[in-house]
Each structure stands twice: as C-alpha cells, then as structure tokens.
Amino acid sequence: MVGGPARTRYAVVRFPCSLTQPARIGAFGAGPSMPAVCHPFPPLRTMSTDRPSSRSIQQEIQQTRPFRSSAQESVIALLRTASVVSRRYARLVEPHGLSLAQYNVLRILRGAGEEGLPTLAIRDRMIDEGSTVTRLLDKLEQAGLVTRDRSRPDRRQVLCRITAAGEALLTLLDPAMDHADTDTMSVLGEAEMAQLIDLLASVRTGS
C-alpha cells in the first residue's frame, strides 16, 4: 500500500475551569473559596444498534445451578441492578460526607422550598423506605445542612428546612449526578426507558 497505513487523528478537547468555587463543602460543612480543580466528566456512552452482549445475572453472580423460576431470576436481577447503580451514585456523594439516604433527604427538602416539610412527610417521600429519617436529620442538622423547627404547637410535627449550605452542596453535586443519570441509562432508547419505568411501576404496585 503506497504511503503506508492511514493514521487516525484525535482531537484534544480542553475543558474551561472557573478560578474558584463558591464554597468548599465536605464532611457536611462549608469552607472558604479555594482554587477549583477541573475534573471533566468522561464522555457519555452513545446508543448503538450493535450493543455488546450483556452477561446474564447467572454469569454475573457465578451461579452454577439454574434459578428455580423466571420470577426468582427477575427478582435477583432487579436487586443486583439496584446495587450496581446505587454504588455508582454513592461514589459521587461520599467524598462530600453524604450517604445516598442523606442526599435523598436534601433533595426532598430542596423541592419543598421555604415551607419545609414535617419529618413524617420526608419519610413518606424517601426512595429507601427503610431509612431512619430522624437519625439522618440529626446528622444533617449537626452539619448545618438542615434546620428543624420544634416551636410548633404539635411537637410531633417538627418542620424541617434545607439551609443555604445544603442548597450549595446540592448545586455542587447537580452536574455530576445529572451526568450519571444520562450515562447510566444511555444503553436504552427513549421507548425502552418508558417501558422500563412502566414495568418497574407494575412491580412496585404488586409488592
């Protein structure tokens, strides 16, 4: 071949970084402004009609015997998937001193706005229904990320609100979490995601 094999050219993409962050938030607290370190997100995976074949759940957990039923295989696949996805998101929030459950509480309170929410209402909106909301709020309050108003006539109705530091922490995490949402589900098309949402809703309703 004349001239030898063609060489592939790669473009270098540079990510602009702001000089400072509004606040350094870690270990549940806020600190002074500091130089920002640019950590560009990895490129999003793109949809392809030629998808790599996925390993079966039986291969993933190295189970040698067949499942007792399709129902058992489905439940184990669902639990395994939830664990894999949860680990990805936990790695994003843990460096900031948060658990996924605490992050969930902050998101709920941000959505509630200035009016806040009683503790029981927060519990009802949690993704993980087994979370102990009072304990989560204790840690968040100690960190200055939420406040609790105990001055209401009904002492059982403690009103919780997110603080400015809590808002700042969520704002800091938003880009990474949004990127993770898109990248995690990039293996599915819009129609498949809609179908998945409906199927999961059916499972939850029947449980």
pLDDT for residue 183 is more than 50:
yes
3-class DSSP state of 183: helix
- pLDDT reported for residue 60: 76
Considering only CA atoms, which of 96, 92, 116, 91 is closest in space to residue 105? 116
pLDDT reported for residue 166: 98
pLDDT score of 101:
97
Which of these, 101, 157, 145, lies nearest to 126 by C-alpha position? 101
Give CA–CA dist 78/69, Å, rounded: 14
Helix, strand, or coil here: 24? strand
DSSP state at residue 55: P
Residue 89 confidence (pLDDT) above 50: yes
- Per-residue pLDDT of 123-156, as tens digits, reads 999 999 888 999 999 999 999 999 999 876 665 6
Per-residue pLDDT band at 64 (split at 50, 70, 90): confident
- Between strands 29-31 and 117-118, the pairing is unpaired
pTM: 0.71
Question: Residue 130 is encoded by which pair of tokens?
Answer: 């087994």
| The CATH number fitting domain 70-173, selected from 1.10.150.130, 3.40.50.300, 3.40.50.1700, 1.10.10.10 | 1.10.10.10
